[in-house]
Amino acid sequence: MLNTAGRSAYDENHELFREQVRKFFDAKIHPNLDRWEEAGIVDRSAWNDCGEAGLLCPTVPEEYGGLGLDFGYNAVVGEELAYTGSAIGITLQSDIIADYILHYGSEEQKREWLPRMISGEVVTAIAMTEPGTGSDLQGVKTTARKDGNHYVINGSKTYITNGQHADLIIVVAKTDPEQGAKGISLILVEADREGFARGRNLDKIGQHSGDTSELFFNDVRVPTTHCLGEEGRGFAYLMNQLPQERLSIAIGAQAAAQRAFDVGVAYVKERKAFGKSVFDFQNTRFVLADLATKLQVGWAHLDWALKRHIAGDLTAVEASAAKLWHTELQGEVCDAALQLHGGAGYMNEYPIARLWRDARVSRIYGGTSEIMKEVIGRSL
């Protein structure tokens, strides 16, 4: 169990909520982890279960069916999910997409989609990355050409989280290819539109139960009222939302790092070598002491970042630094904990193997570590 004693970002109500989250995960997520890993995807019904339990989009105001809570409640879900080791994409829906619709959507769009996102009836995705475009979103090739009162969308996207289950996709597309970043718009596309197709559920190194897909748009027609916010403002919207997205990734990375440390400690205390436990070797204790120190610093920093974000003060540079530091720490802790398992760490039957595999992508998605350094460096 994740130890939250002494945390400064949460109050009593957050912790009461955390207990409910843990009970739900114990009943609905833990028993299915291995089956979902083998299947390569979580059950669609798991989304409805999460919605029924009140885990989806807790910051959405009550007028749209939400709880109207602060981002700390999202963070509680993110921490507990990462500590559990599940790759279900609910934090994408709650931490990222709900805010796009809430901040930039029309009143009609909010009332159409937010209540169903909260209930789990609708699963969402955001389609940014393309086969030839990753962190440089100005280079997207997907187009949304106006034809009367419709957009006609053509292009392809890849590495899209929730792509197989998604009922609604925010598509990053060029509405004016001649304008560069100023020609990018965000278009809401329903998955039942003619011309839309899902590709394969991608075969990844880790996060095997995570739904990650290719998406194709072949003359997909949607009304111009499906534009999210103003036409041509999509790139600005993407940049505005990056702090919360990167903080969300940092939250998951820190919690997953703690889980890897905890399973490492448990293993070396049980494993015997040369007549004593592996934990009794000085090298083992020194490795764990170093990791424990970095984790302590990590939790303090995460609480600082959370409080700043809830107050509306976390900057894009600070969020980028958080994403960089916590994901790099996750990689370090998972690798060290696997090493302490010896040969057992290379066996998929041990939790550390999954934690180690799943950790690798956190230094890539949401902006690579190199991009984070570039963002931070430009601010100096």
What's the angle, vertex CA 255, arms to CA 253 and CA 258, rounded to 5? Answer: 110
Burial zone of 204 (CB within 10 Å; 0-12 exposed, 13-18 middle, 19+ buried): middle
Query: For residues 41 and 164, is the Cβ–Cβ distance under 8 A?
Result: yes
Beta strand 124-127 with 143-147 is: unpaired
Instruction: Tell me the C-alpha to C-alpha distance, in Å, between residue 306 and each of 70, 73, 217, 309, 319.
Output: 10, 11, 37, 5, 10
Query: For residues 190 and 167, is the Cβ–Cβ distance under 8 A?
Result: yes
Residues carrying an active site annotation: 245
End-to-end CA distance of the chain: 39
Beta bridge partners of 151: 146, 222
How many helices (H) and strands (E) in the chain? 12, 9
For residue 217, give the H/E element and its range. Answer: strand 212-223
Convert 312-340 into a string of H (helix), E (strand) and C (coil).
CCCCHHHHHHHHHHHHHHHHHHHHHHHHH
Nearest to 54 by CA among 66, 71, 72, 68: 66
